[in-house]
Structure 1
Amino acid sequence: MRTTFMAKGHEVERKWLLVDAEGQTLGRLASEVATLLRGKHKPTFTPNVDTGDHVIIINAEKIQLTGNKLKDKKYYRHSGYTGSLKSRTALEMRTNYSTKMLELAIKGMLPKGPLGRQTAKKLHVFAGAEHTHAAQKPEAFELRG
């Protein structure tokens, strides 16, 4: 009788992948990166174990949005106090907080819970072409499409 392979946390081999966001569409990039972070691209994927790779994203300031989303899409945040709802357009976010914009899109596609929070720690986003993880020797990763 065959049994299904279930990976253990200490057995997982994690790679460092480098993704260039220049000219990429926000949602399409975010969904593929979320897959890499969870480890669903590996044959050893196990839903209850963090099997994903570290992902470094460069050129986050050059991400694209389709249609009129740059001026129509809004990002909201609330401190918890009455009347403290703040909003920014996608254009303001891309100009001033491009890394946060990409992080929010990717984290929204990860599980909500302890494993999702642990998975999100393996995401490293940089606005420009330079990153601080050269010592990890990341492999360039080409996205589909």
Structure 2
Amino acid sequence: FCNLSFFRPKELVLDDLDRDKFVRVVPPEEIPQRKVMLGQRQLATFSRVWYLFDAKWQCPHLSGEKIARILRGEHKPIYYPGESTGDCVVAINTRHIALRNDAWRADALHVRREYAKTRYDIPLFKLHEIDPTKVLHLCVLSCIPTDNTRRFDMARLYTFPDDAVPVHLLKNVCDQIRGSRIIPKRLDDLTSNDIEKFPQMFKWPKELVLDDLDRDKFVRVVPPEEIPQRKVMLGQRAGRQNYWFHVATSRHEEVKIH
């Protein structure tokens, strides 16, 4: 029989009596205890938290996924499908949402009714003019599965076109949802110092620079009452050559706009 274990020197072997010189066992009464009790943490988990979301210049599709996750309560450890464990969300500035590319004109809301020849599409830009909160509401609704708690989850969503929120709702807000996009600065928000410090690639010649006083000689601002308005005729079908707006999809009907 061969013992492969090596032998330790005597100076490295500690007896039970000598171990107390080097190792000290901390008694339970000296262990620092947390101030937060388990009962308090449990109550905070089951409570409903109110979140504030600023939808200004945010994509409603990306924002809808974030809001739907909080409305359903998927961010909580007690989440279970079919149980109402979500929080409340207050969305403001829904009038200033931003869609990708040309989605305002290219995408449309398909409305199907149970009567013959009553299917029609309404473009998103027209829907946004009618109700500025409807686009974000529909994006959140599409991210929630169709179960028994869907309408109760959507009832905890409060959408406002501007930043005017009732006082009784703002008193409940205690957290904020971070947006999916970084809001850039507008040219109107830049100060004169920021414009001067901005590096210039080249300088335009003086004969090509138009001052504010001279610009009126070349450029005329059209007032809103002179802009021709186009009306959407819903529920009508005609030739494609008479269409200004056309949804090129198989499910959508065409919309005639004069």
TM-score normalised to structure 1 length: 0.84
Q: How does 1:63-82 map to 2 (within 5 A)?
A: 63-82=97-116
Q: Deviations over 1:48-88 (max 9, x none)?
A: 31111001100111111001111100112233221122321
Secondary structure in 2 matching 1:114: coil
Match status 1:97 vs 2:97? no
Match status 1:37 vs 2:62? no
Identity, in percent, stands at 23
* Corresponding position of 2:178: 142
Cα distance in 2 for partners of 1:129, 1:87 equals 30
Higher mean alpha-carbon deviation, 111-120 vs 63-72, is at 111-120
> Greater share of strand residues, 1 or 2?
1
Secondary structure in 2 matching 1:98: coil
| Structure 2 CA distance for partners of 1:144 and 1:45, relative to 1, 3 Å | farther
Q: How does 1:1-145 map to 2 (within 5 A)?
A: 12-132=46-166, 133-144=169-180
TM-score normalised to structure 2 length: 0.49
Greater relative contact order, per chain length (Cα 8 Å cut-off, separation 6+):
1
| Bigger radius of gyration among the two | 2
Number of equivalences? 135
Q: Which sections of structure 2, spanning at least 5 residues, go unmatched?
A: 1-44, 182-258
1:136 Cα deviation from its structure 2 partner: 2.1
Q: Is the 8 A contact 2:58 2:179 kept in 1?
A: no
1:138 Cα deviation from its structure 2 partner: 4.3
1:30 Cα deviation from its structure 2 partner: 0.5
1:144 Cα deviation from its structure 2 partner: 4.6
| Structure 2 CA distance for partners of 1:92 and 1:138, relative to 1, 3 Å | farther
Cα distance in 2 for partners of 1:47, 1:113 equals 9
Cα distance in 1 for partners of 2:80, 2:46 equals 10
For 1:139, give the aligned amino acid: D
Quote the RMSD (CA, aligned, Å).
1.7
